[in-house]
Each structure stands twice: as C-alpha cells, then as structure tokens.
A and B are shown apart, each in its own frame.
Chain A
C-alpha cells in the first residue's frame, strides 16, 4: 500500500533561519507531488507541485523553494524565514492521470519567531 511521510511534525524557527521540510512517498512510482500551506484559520494554498524528478512548478512567488531530487522525495526549503512563513505545511501525492484522489501527509506546523 502507498504511504506518505512528512517530517518534522512541529518546528519552531527564528526569523532569518533556513528551512528544510521533507516529504517521501512509498509504494508508488512517478507520483505527482504537492506542497500546500494553510495559515491559521485560512484555507489551503498550493505552493509548489511536481510531475517528475527535477520538475518544479511554483504557484506563489515567495522566499520558499522546492526540489525533487528523487522520484518519491519532495523538499520544501527557505534560505531565510519570515514571520509570514508560519503555518501548517502539507505534502500530498497523487497518481498520474485518471480520477485518482489526493493523499495528504500529516503536516508540519511551522512557527517562525
């Protein structure tokens, strides 16, 4: 069966520090991968998605970046965090093509102080 792992679960980082959140998927190949962010009391905002290794599409210009070094690994990064980067970050995957649903990870709650 397919599983998605996302870590860490919670993170407190000072302003200006770097960030690296990792997401891995098991039990499938060539998935579409996604990073979403949910600010407190707000809806889900798509940040990045990837349809293959090294292929990243950005939805929102910001100081975050994403990379996909391996087929089932998706990384969200920042060189210098801002207070506004605080939120609930969710990784998701979906099978390529068809009417398959999305499977989300358990999320990382990031607080920038």
Chain B
C-alpha cells in the first residue's frame, strides 16, 4: 500500500470548515483513498473513501487532486464532537485481506 503523510495536528474553530490534507504521492491506479477517525478511547470510525472523483456523504467531503497524489477531507461545519485523530489510508481494492495500515494521523482539535 502507498504511504501517506499527514500533519500531526490541526486546530479548527467550532462551526468553521475543517480541511485535513493528506499526501499520497506514490499512490497506484488501483488504490482507493480511505478516511477514518478515532475519537479518544473508541474504535476507529469509517468516514468516506474515493478513487478519483470527489465524494460527499452525510459526514464529510473528499477532494482528490487530478493527479491523485493528495487529497483533502472536509468537515463543512466542525463541532466539538469532531475532535479526534483522523487517518488517511490508501488501499488497493484488490488488496489482500490484511491491508489496512494506519499511520499516525492528524489530531484535529475543534475549539469553542
């Protein structure tokens, strides 16, 4: 799986958009970009994933650059409950069952 790079921490004001970047410059054509988050002392929670088109669901939007070497997770109106570690992961759709490697993620702190 391709390696990802994320900033270790970010702050965001409550009610504002939180934009979390991720670099995956070695991504392959068959690899998806997944985002998970982990609220303190809980299991990781799936947020969104995409291949090359931008994606949106009830939780967030995922913007993938045209060359697919980076992506941005957008939480449109951050709340205090969005404070968590956010993980960006790339994984091949045809990858073996083992492949979900978490990096160190970005600690997002939403400030009141």
Residues of A within 8 A of B104 (CB): 43
**A69: min CB distance to chain B, Å:** 18
Count residues of B near A (Cβ-Cβ below 8 Å): 20
Q: Is A7 at the interface (CB under 8 A from chain B)?
A: no
Known: A92-B44, A94-B97. 12 other contacts (CB 8 A): A43-B102, A49-B98, A51-B97, A90-B43, A92-B100, A101-B34, A101-B36, A102-B36, A102-B44, A102-B46, A104-B43, A104-B45
- Per-residue interface assignment for chain A, residues 52 to 86, with 1 indicating a CB less than 8 Å from any chain B CB and 0 otherwise: 00000101000000000000000000000000000
Q: Inside 8 A of B46's CB, which chain A residues have their CB?
A: 101-103
Q: Is the interface of B mostly helix, strand, loop or mixed?
A: loop
19 residue pairs bridging A and B, Cβ less than 8 Å apart: A6-B43, A34-B100, A43-B103, A44-B44, A49-B98, A57-B98, A88-B41, A92-B100, A96-B97, A99-B32, A99-B51, A99-B93, A101-B34, A101-B46, A102-B36, A102-B46, A104-B43, A106-B43, A107-B42
Q: Is A39 an interface residue (CB 8 A)?
A: no
- Chain A residues near B93: list those with CB within 8 A: 98-99
Give bound CA distance, A46 to B100, whole Å.
8
Known: A43-B103, A101-B34. A107 touches B43 (CB 8 A): yes
B101 on the interface (CB 8 Å rule)?
Answer: yes
Q: How far is the CB of B58 from chain A (nearest CB, A)?
A: 14
* Interfacial residues, chain A to chain B (CB-CB below 8 A): 6, 32, 34, 43-44, 46, 49, 51, 57, 59, 88, 90, 92, 94, 96, 98-99, 101-107, 109
**Are B49 and A101 interface neighbours, CB within 8 A?**
yes
**Residues A59 and B43 in contact in the complex (CB < 8 Å), given A43-B103, A43-B105, A99-B93:** no
Q: Which residues of B contact A102 (CB under 8 A)?
A: 36, 44, 46, 100
Give per-residue flags for B78-98: 1 if the beta carbon is below 8 A from chain A beta carbons, else 0.
000000000000000100011
Which of A59, A90, A98 touches B44 (beta carbons < 8 Å)? A90
- Contact flags (1/0) for B34-64 with A, using CB distance below 8 Å? 1010000111111001010000000000000
